[in-house]
Amino acid sequence: MIENFEGKVAVLTGAGSGFGLECARIAARRGMRLVLVDVQQDALDAAAAEMRALGAEVLARRVDVSDAPQMEQLARDVRQHWGAPHLVFNNAGVGSGGLVWENTLRDWQWVLGVNLWGVIHGVRLFTPMMLDAARADPSWRGHIVNTASMAGLLNPPNMGVYNVSKHAVVSLTETLYHDLSLVTDQVGASVLCPYFVPTGITLSERNRPQDMAHEQPTASQRISAAMITKAVDSGRVSAAEVAQKVFDAAATGQFYVFSHPQALGNVRSRMDSIVQGANPPDPFAERPQVGEQLRAALRG
């Protein structure tokens, strides 16, 4: 738990938009030193300029979080400039949809690379630094927050690659929480599981690797993109509100962070079916019209 954020160091991936940008704004207002990471240079530059205008010290780095050497260089830069970070927000992510058998190998590599490997790299590189700092100073406190999704607790159809990536992040973070508890009381972990929140993730295609630029989406992928965009754009919870929940979790040690707790009924239904050995429940039971629309679109 981090009781006082002033003067502490925060590493924020996906800092150019959405939750990353909103967390950077909160961190700047709380007097933190910021390491801003994004793959989109113009968004990164804008975020860095805004945070400096707020008075924050900023280290900005354009990094593809799926790339191990780039992440390793980032970790070296952070250590050299400010030492171990106190808050690490492994947040960079991309969206993807479509029937699971229609996703190409590159679809899998891209989405798992950013959504999962980006978190893996953040955990494997920054956790040892944080533990070293904790051992050297009994008063030192740190926290790691990994962005998953409600899709990491559910399995909505026509979103298979994304679901897989986010389930893995939930598992990784729960394991990290338990592993940390074995060795320290000074470093904690949380997993963020947002539902439909306007963040810019529906525009992920803008950062697709160049070798994927020529690929045309399948019908199911176009249907998924349209439905998710509609759901996200109609979201009533803002990215800023979710960012505040991230900081509250880091301050209190709360593990699960939800943007829409009311959606947990679907999670409960899934867990009950697992315990009872029943088949997976209808993920649209609470909003059957959504499932009907999706089924009609895919069969049409």
Known active-site residue 177: no
Q: Which residue carries 């354009």 as its tokens?
A: 62
Enzyme catalytic residues: 162
